[in-house]
Amino acid sequence: MTRLSVNINKVATLRNARGENVPDVVEFALACERAGAQGITVHPRPDERHITRADVYELRRAVNTEFNIEGYPSPDFLKLVIEVNPDQVTLVPDAPDAITSSAGWDVKGEAEFLAPIIERLRSAGIRTSVFVEPDPAQVKEAARLGADRVELYTKPYADLFPLDPDKAIAPYIPAAKAAVDSGIGLNAGHDLNTHNLHFLYRRLPRLDEVSIGHALISDCLYWGLDETIKRYLNCIR
């Protein structure tokens, strides 16, 4: 079964625009769970422009489904996730000032940096996912370093999908096979929406999880939360 994890960063962005607690990110996360989402994702950044460190601690206490924390593995980030002990940590190669994730790791080039981080997280009992391009070599290297999963960066797929779905998905099929052959799990995320998600799901049948934020939160403005979650879940069934 492919699980839906809702990235709630944009809810925190809206809250922070007024400096108060409306909307409440914890209440929104719980509403996502009640609507059927199987996980909650956050990506705390050093400047706390959306999800804050305090949010992470509060969400850990409140979330009843899977809790996934994304981020660049700086010393501060690692300290936070070791203390919070989420179900999954997704390592991304973002610069501190990045607006959003824009590339996967060069796992082979960064192996010396990533290996001890992956080992530290696994020793803490945290499932570790590495954000990668749809490249079988990078997937296999992540597995060699001890990652439990990879998350395929799907923006190139989303960009090309309206023009040529088959060409858009083509690089992802061997990358997904590399994950299965290597014995690790497979996640996907970035710019997925109700237009392109079901096609991805059908072509990558061993997909464990999709993490979706911007499009899903935006769709809530039109359809409401419960209907939006329902439509996304229907895409992965």
Confidence of residue 103 (pLDDT cuts 50, 70, 90): confident
Instruction: Report whether pLDDT(102) > 90.
Output: no
* Active-site residue, 70 included: yes
Confidence of residue 117 (pLDDT cuts 50, 70, 90): very high
pLDDT tens digit sequence for 159-181: 999 999 999 999 999 999 999 99
Nearest-5° angle of CA 10, CA 231, CA 190?
Answer: 45
* Active-site residue, 110 included: no
Identified catalytic residue from 33, 70, 133, 141: 70
* Domain CATH for 78: 3.20.20.70
**CB-CB contact of 121 with 146 (8 Å):** no
* Active-site residue, 214 included: no
Distances (CA, A) of 84 to 78, 87, 120, 213: 10, 10, 14, 21
Confidence of residue 94 (pLDDT cuts 50, 70, 90): confident
Q: How many domains does the chain have?
A: 1
Instruction: Report whether pLDDT(95) > 80.
Output: no
Question: Which residue range(s) make up the domain with 62?
Answer: 3-235
Identified catalytic residue from 33, 66, 141, 190: 190
Identified catalytic residue from 33, 43, 133, 209: 43
Write down the mean pLDDT value for the chain: 96
